[in-house]
Amino acid sequence: MGCEEEILIIRSYDGQYADRVRVEDLERRCEVGPSERVFLFTDTMGDPICRIRNSPLYKMLVAEVDNQLVGVIQGSIKVVTVHQAQKDWAKVGYVLGLRVVPSFRRRGIGCSLVLRLEEWFVANDVDYTYMATEKDNEASVKLFIYKLGYTNFRVPAILVNPVKHYRSYHLPSNIQISRLKVGVAEYLYRKFMASTEFFPHDIDQVLRHKLSLGTWVAYYRDDTDDAEDANFETSGSKSEMTIPKSWAMLSVWNSGEVFKLRLGKAPLSCLIYTESSKVIDKIFPCLKLPSIPNFYEPFGFYFMYGVHREGARTGKLVRTLCHYVHNVAATTRDCKAIVTEIGGEDSLREEIPHWKLLSCPEDLWCIKALKKEARNSLHELTKTPPTTRPALFVDPREV
Ligand SMILES: CC(C)(COP(=O)(O)OP(=O)(O)OC[C@H]1O[C@@H](n2cnc3c(N)ncnc32)[C@H](O)[C@@H]1OP(=O)(O)O)[C@@H](O)C(=O)NCCC(=O)NCCS
């Protein structure tokens, strides 16, 4: 460490009251993101490990200097699909929530926390560790890439759509939307999305989780080869299903039950829009202009995951599903946004309603191999040309 007299202690978060309060206080003091842009604060509602506790295996570390809590980091481990020469799955460790209080930065604490978490990954037989950051978060990019040997991996897009509580979408009458039983949803995900990069092998746990609000399919009412109606129901044998030619599915996770978000600073254009649209709304309520919800108060959001489509005419199906989710969200007072994250090259982006102003077109994922065999495969993984990259599955437990 840079400062000789200070002794840095890194230990596991103990979950006791004192640790909880100190970690929450640290979180409040740490801004994430480049200073000239939006700051997103996370309110963990008294449970600092809420963002990892739904993963199969997780850990939070804290850093102390002179009995002061000066840094934190979290990590989770799971098995996912990764296309490598030897096998098409890998154990991955996700690094998140790295924070060091401003007055203790540039003393090697951030670096030490990541290295200690990597030791835990190694002890748990992890093949790759990965993390996500805004690509213009210079401190984070330099720390992970230049200092710790992570490599740019993928640049997924985070799409955000505000919930308009006063307005529900009209859904087309020729499209049927049905909610799937969990077993059927699992069957369809394993059949159609298992080869998607980072598909979690414990998808059943994700779907059965209490935060998962459900999985829905959409299809055209008159879209089967024979006279039979489309049928996603089954009482056992999957062959009973009559799957239409074109269909789309997605699942919804209630992230607002876990933590709340709050905007600290917004781009000027966003502020102007919020203020002026409020005024216009007051004067001309009948215009029903889409005013942005107040993102400066803590708000919850729904995360749409596992968005998938099969067949030719699917754009309208995906849009209708998204509108359906919006209408459900609009009945929940505190849910102010619908968020999803998809591969950067995924053409789904055109179909998922979102506001460019609130979305992040390039979330940077970086990866590092922890085992020798994984190191050999890393080159193939990171060098795949964007056009041939398989779609990406973003796990709602890691949002
Ligand atoms: C990112 C963060 C955790 C770094 O913590 P830190 O303790 O200052 O990091 P370290 O001292 O270990 O820095 C290690 C290396 O990272 C790079 N780095 C760290 N902060 C940097 C900065 N502000 N600008 C440029 N490079 C930086 C440097 O290469 C540094 O090595 P050096 O000091 O020898 O040049 C801290 O800035 C922070 O809490 N930021 C706000 C939260 C955040 O953005 N977290 C990342 C989310 S993924």
Q: Write the pLDDT tens digit of every residue in 8-41.
A: 999 999 999 999 999 988 988 876 655 445 556 6
Instruction: Indicate the average pLDDT of the chain.
Output: 86
Give residue 283's pLDDT. 46
With a 6 A CB cut-off, is 171 part of the ligand 1 pocket?
Answer: no
Is 188's pLDDT higher than 80?
A: yes
With a 6 A CB cut-off, is 136 part of the ligand 1 pocket?
Answer: no
Using alpha carbons, list the distances in angstroms from residue 40 to 31, 71, 270, 379. Answer: 7, 18, 14, 33
Residue of 199 and 372 predicted with greater confidence: 199
- Rounded to an integer, what distance in angstroms lies between the CA atom of residue 374 and that of residue 381? 10
With a 6 A CB cut-off, is 108 part of the ligand 1 pocket?
Answer: yes
Query: In this prediction, what percent of the chain has a pLDDT beyond 90?
Result: 59
Distance 132 CA to ligand 1 centre (A): 15
Cβ atoms of 159 and 347 within 8 Å: the answer is no
Give residue 397's pLDDT. 93
Is 52's pLDDT higher than 60?
A: yes
Is 111's pLDDT higher than 90?
A: yes
CA angle, corner 50, sides to 203 and 32, nearest 5? 110
Query: In this prediction, what percent of the chain has a pLDDT beyond 70?
Result: 84
pLDDT category, 374, cuts 50, 70, 90?
Answer: confident
Unique residue bearing structure tokens 């030897």: 86
Residue type, 320: T
Unique residue bearing structure tokens 């490598």: 84
Using alpha carbons, list the distances in angstroms from residue 291 to 143, 167, 264, 272, 353. Answer: 39, 11, 19, 11, 16
b/e sequence 343-364, b meaning 16+ C-beta within 10 Å: bbbbebbebbbbeeebbbeebb
Kind of pairing, strands 151-154 and 363-369? antiparallel
Q: Kindly write down the DSSP assignment for every residue of 75-135, as one continuous string.
A: EEEEEEE---SS-SEEEEEEEEEEEE-GGGTTSSHHHHHHHHHHHHHHHTT-SEEEEEEET
Find the distance separating the first CA and the last CA of the chain, reported in whole Å. Answer: 32
With a 6 A CB cut-off, is 17 part of the ligand 1 pocket?
Answer: no
CA torsion through residues 307, 313, 319, 323, sign: negative
The residue among 87, 25, 138 whose CA lies nearest residue 373 is: 87
Structural domains of the chain in order of their starting residue, each with its CATH number:
8-155+363-398 (3.40.630.30), 160-257+273-350 (3.40.630.30)
Mean pLDDT of 304-328: 96
Cβ atoms of 363 and 156 within 8 Å: the answer is yes
Helices (H), 124-181: 138-141
Is 361's pLDDT higher than 70?
A: yes
The residue among 170, 169, 172 whose CA lies nearest residue 220 is: 172
pTM above 0.75, yes or no: yes
Q: What atom in ligand 1 is closest to the CA of residue 111?
A: 12
Residue of 280 and 208 predicted with greater confidence: 208
Mean pLDDT of 102-108: 95
Mean pLDDT of 213-237: 77
Q: Whose CA is nearest to atom 21 of ligand 1?
A: 139
pLDDT category, 389, cuts 50, 70, 90?
Answer: low
With a 6 A CB cut-off, is 139 part of the ligand 1 pocket?
Answer: yes
With a 6 A CB cut-off, is 211 part of the ligand 1 pocket?
Answer: no
Least confident range from 55-59, 63-67, 269-273, 377-381: namely: 269-273
The residue among 196, 307, 303 whose CA lies nearest residue 250 is: 307
With a 6 A CB cut-off, is 138 part of the ligand 1 pocket?
Answer: yes
Using alpha carbons, list the distances in angstroms from residue 266 to 140, 278, 349. Answer: 21, 16, 23
Q: What atom in ligand 1 is closest to the CA of residue 132?
A: 48
What the block records as the tokens of 275 is 């203020």
Least confident range from 9-13, 75-79, 85-89, 268-272: namely: 268-272
Is 282's pLDDT higher than 70?
A: no
The residue among 315, 339, 312 whose CA lies nearest residue 325 is: 339
Residue of 77 and 237 predicted with greater confidence: 77
Chain-centroid distance of CA 31 in Å reads 19
**Helix or strand (DSSP H, E) at 260:** strand 260-265
- Segment 130-181, tens digit of pLDDT: 999 988 899 999 999 999 999 998 999 999 899 988 788 999 999 999 999 9
pLDDT category, 379, cuts 50, 70, 90?
Answer: confident
Phi, psi (rounded to 5 degrees) for 309: -145, 150
Q: Mutation test of ligand 1: which of 106, 365, 367 has the most ligand atoms closer than 8 Å to its C-beta?
A: 106
Mean pLDDT of 344-353: 90
- Rounded to an integer, what distance in angstroms lies between the CA atom of residue 312 and that of residue 160? 26
Q: Mutation test of ligand 1: which of 37, 117, 143 has the most ligand atoms closer than 8 Å to its C-beta?
A: 143
The residue among 42, 25, 22 whose CA lies nearest residue 263 is: 42
Phi, psi (rounded to 5 degrees) for 260: -115, 155
Residue type, 8: L
Is 385's pLDDT higher than 80?
A: no
Give residue 198's pLDDT. 95
